[in-house]
Amino acid sequence: MNDEADASRPDHLLLPVLALSDACLFPESSLQAVVSAPAAVQAVEIAQRCGRRLIVAGYRDLTSGLLHDIATVATLEADAQLPDGFSVELDGHSRVRLVTVVRAGAILAEAAPLGEGDPGDEWGPAVEALARYIHAHTELKAFLEKQRRSAEPMAWVNLACQYLPITASARQKLLEADAPDRCLKISRGLDALLKKEQSA
């Protein structure tokens, strides 16, 4: 994380962090999770009182508690109290880079917004690759349509990144990529995954 960033920057955000293991959230996508770790429960409680916004970040290393630098600002769309925590539904909005992280029970972070970049013509092959994959997995289409939060074609790309069967580390690398690079990577990845499934 960049310690040289100016904390007075007006575009920087200060929000609670919901840290998740083996998960990340993409813009224009949603995620359901059960949270019970004390810091995660406190992050949800802070978000409930302060505009229902928080940062969803994955762990780079769970043992040390180190977070990935790139995360997503989300809205807490729904939450239900459980005996030892919450069941939450989160809607992703935009990527951020964590600048400063403070741990005081809850995890709080100052974060700088990251532009997505213009996907240009790269989204076309990515959406076509997703269509080919959905054609082979018809049950996915209704599920993804229910999860879609935007009519933009890039929403389909982000949904593919969010939900299709790839490793947590591959998912994080996709989150770290800007829109054109993410489109390119997911289109290649989906075609490779489909080819592997068909040859099995």
Helices of type H across the chain: 38-49, 123-136, 139-147, 153-163, 168-176, 179-199
- In the 8-state DSSP scheme, what is residue 104? E
200 residues of the chain, pLDDT tens digit each: 544 444 457 789 999 999 998 888 999 888 899 999 999 999 999 999 999 999 999 998 888 889 999 999 999 998 999 999 899 999 999 999 999 999 988 999 999 999 888 888 888 899 899 999 988 888 888 888 888 777 788 888 999 899 888 888 889 999 999 999 999 999 998 998 889 888 87
Q: Which of 113, 145, 170 is the last residue of a domain?
A: 113
Count how many domains the chain has: 2
Q: Is residue 6 in some structural domain?
A: no
Q: CA 49 to CA 75: how far, in whole Å?
A: 12
Residues 20 and 104 in one domain: yes
What CATH number should be reported for the domain holding residue 67?
2.30.130.40
Q: CA 16 to CA 101: how far, in whole Å?
A: 10
Q: Is residue 1 in some structural domain?
A: no
Residues 107 and 179 in one domain: no
- In the 8-state DSSP scheme, what is residue 199? H
Residues 102 and 181 in one domain: no
Q: In sequence order, what are the residues at sequence separation of 6 or more whose Cβ sits closer than 8 angstroms to the Cβ of residue 68?
A: 24, 57, 58, 59, 60, 98, 172, 175, 176
Residues 27 and 95 in one domain: yes
Question: Domain range for residue 41?
Answer: 13-113
Structural tokens at position 84: 């030892």
Residues 68 and 104 in one domain: yes
Q: Which of 51, 79, 113 is the last residue of a domain?
A: 113
Name the nearest CA neighbour of 29 among 164, 115, 135, 156. Answer: 156
Q: In sequence order, what are the residues at sequence separation of 6 or more whose Cβ sits closer than 8 angstroms to the Cβ of residue 167?
A: none
